[in-house]
Chain A
Amino acid sequence: SQQGEEDPQALSIQEGENATMNCSYKTSINNLQWYRQNSGRGLVHLILIRSNEREKHSGRLRVTLDTSKKSSSLLITASRAADTASYFCATDGKGGSEKLVFGKGTKLTVNP
């Protein structure tokens, strides 16, 4: 079963605007990661945030993590048409398991 949900399921914005996607999860985690997937192809790792971190930046990406609410957000600033893809959050749990548990994803469309 899925760990949690991304919100919204779909997001359509204009180039240059910011895109914010949210993720909720259910169990205690070691890390939370965001991955991107273009048109049913392989996933590409974007950014990882550890459970003891609250915010992380990488280029135009900003990730926040609130472990008390079991939620995370991904912000893409100054979006480009090439950012059009599905975005997934993935968690790996405490207890030694190294499997990733994915949400259902947010489908982002950036219109030129």
Chain B
Amino acid sequence: ETGVTQSPTHLIKTRGQQVTLRCSSQSGHNTVSWYQQALGQGPQFIFQYYREEENGRGNFPPRFSGLQFPNYSSELNVNALELDDSALYLCASSLRVLSNSVSKNIQYFGAGTRLSVL
């Protein structure tokens, strides 16, 4: 168990709808990253939040948005759902330490939310 929890575990939506996915990070972590994993593929980076600010974004359209809260939990929102948004959405938490040395950047993943868009 990584201590990272995601909800819901499964979700079915129809095209054009909006969805919110939630993630509680591991205690002591200050950074949350979201990934999309299509069937048979590796995870693709959506964005990362560090201390409530977006800290990097992958190649995803603006209808993918996020939030990080003061307790470091996070939400992923997707508007105007498309069929291709069907995937496993993974949240990962980590501890980012600003220093001169390179961080290890080990990320701890939740079990994911399986989203199906019909």
Contact = CB atoms under 8 A, between A and B. Distances in A.
A44 B2 contact: yes
Contact-residue bracket for chain A:
20 to 34
Interface in B43-59: 43-45, 48, 55-56, 58-59
Contact-residue bracket for chain B:
35 or more
B47 to A, nearest CB: 8
A40 B112 CA distance: 9
19 contacts: A1-B59, A30-B105, A31-B104, A33-B106, A35-B109, A42-B110, A43-B90, A44-B2, A45-B107, A48-B104, A88-B42, A88-B43, A99-B56, A99-B58, A100-B92, A102-B43, A104-B41, A105-B41, A105-B42
B74 to A, nearest CB: 15
Given A1-B59, A50-B102, A99-B33, A44 B42 contact: no
Complex A-B, nearest 8 residue pairs according to Cβ-Cβ distance, in ascending order: A102-B42, A42-B109, A99-B45, A42-B111, A43-B109, A30-B102, A104-B42, A102-B43
B57 to A, nearest CB: 9
B73 interface: no
A41 interface: yes
Nearest to A52: B102
B88 interface: yes
Contact of A98 (B43, B105, B111): B105
Interface in B36-94: 37, 39-45, 48, 55-56, 58-59, 88, 90, 92, 94
Given A1-B59, A99-B45, 4 more contacts: A43-B92, A100-B105, A102-B35, A102-B43
